[in-house]
Amino acid sequence: MKFLLPHAERIYAVLRIMTGFMFCLHGFQKIFGLFGGVPPGAPPFIIYAAGGIELVCGLLVLIGLFAAPAAFLASGTMAFAYFMGHVFPKGNILPIINQGELAAVYCFLFLYIAAHGSGIWSVDAARRGAKA
């Protein structure tokens, strides 16, 4: 797929933006009860701690401000969510069986974003004076 190579940075920027956008929607759902409301039976620490991390880190990744540390925190949160919400209660580590695919994918997407940084089309790039 060499025809995509010249567009790699723009494709990464869209990946970062969309990942941050979708992640912050989970925070809006938990904190403000939007988009279907709080998941039934969710304890307060999930609603406020995880919801706060999803909202703040999602927005930071979305706009590309301190995206690497925000993504690292989000990655760890999703790893914790995967094990505590899917593996241990269901007794199986396979995401296809324990319904933890979304947490696992978010975990590794955010780990990649943490390693790559904000990239183009970001507040961090604008602060550095980089060309967009």
Please write the tens of the pLDDT for every residue from 43-90.
898 889 999 999 999 999 999 999 999 999 999 999 999 999 999 999
Mean of pLDDT values over 98-110: 97
Distance (Å, rounded) from C-alpha 87 to C-alpha 112? 23
Residue 39 confidence class, pLDDT cut points 50, 70, 90: confident
Q: What is the reported pTM?
A: 0.92
Tokens of 50: 């995880």
Q: 3-state DSSP call for residue 130?
A: coil
Query: What is the percent of the chain with per-residue pLDDT over 70, rounded to a whole number?
Result: 98
pLDDT at 130: 56
Residue 109 near residue 19, CB atoms below 8 Å: yes
Q: Kindly tell me if the per-residue pLDDT of 131 is higher than 70.
A: no
Residue 1 confidence class, pLDDT cut points 50, 70, 90: confident
